[in-house]
A and B are shown apart, each in its own frame.
Chain A
Amino acid sequence: GAVVSQHPSRVICKSGTSVKIECRSLDFQATTMFWYRQFPKQSLMLMATSNEGSKATYEQGVEKDKFLINHASLTLSTLTVTSAHPEDSSFYICSARPGSEKLFFGSGTQLSVL
Chain B
Amino acid sequence: QQQVKQSPQSLIVQKGGISIINCAYENTAFDYFPWYQQFPGKGPALLIAIRPDVSEKKEGRFTISFNKSAKQFSLHIMDSQPGDSATYFCAASRGQAGTALIFGKGTTLSVSS
A interface, CB within 8 angstroms of B: 1, 4, 6, 31-32, 34, 41-46, 49, 51, 59-60, 91, 93, 95, 97, 99-108, 110
Contact = CB atoms under 8 A, between A and B. Distances in A.
A107 B101 CA distance: 17
A97 B97 contact: yes
Interface residues of B, number: 27
Count chain B CB atoms within 10 A of each CB in A4, A34, A93, A100 and give the residue with the most.
A100
Contact of A93 (B43, B49, B96, B106): B43
A22 to B, nearest CB: 14
Given A103-B34, A103-B101, A108-B43, 19 more contacts: A6-B43, A41-B106, A41-B108, A42-B106, A43-B89, A43-B105, A46-B1, A59-B1, A60-B1, A95-B43, A97-B97, A97-B98, A99-B97, A100-B95, A100-B97, A102-B46, A105-B43, A108-B41, A110-B41
Interface in B78-113: 89, 91, 93, 95-106, 108
Interface of B: 1, 32, 34, 36, 41-46, 49, 89, 91, 93, 95-106, 108
A102 B43 contact: no
Contacts of B91: 103
B95 A108 contact: no
